[in-house]
Amino acid sequence: QSALTQPASVSGSPGQSITISCTGTSSDVGANNAVSWYQQHAGKAPKVIIYEVSERPSGVSARFSGSKSGHTASLTISGLQAEDEAEYYCCAHAGINHWVFGGGTKVSVL
Partner 1 sequence: QVQLVESGGGVVQPGGSLRLSCAASGFTFSNYAMHWVRQAPGKGLEWVAFIRSDATIEYYAASVKGRFTISRDDSKNTLYMHMHSLRSEDTAVYYCAKETTPRLPFDDWGQGTLVTVSS
Per CB under 8 A, residues contacting partner 1 are: 1, 3, 33-34, 36, 38, 40, 45-48, 51-52, 55, 57, 89, 91, 93, 97-104
Question: If DSSP codes are grouped into helix, strand and coil, which group holds residue 109?
Answer: strand
* Nearer of residues 77 and 92 to partner 1, judged by Cβ: 92
105 touches 5 (CB < 8 A):
no
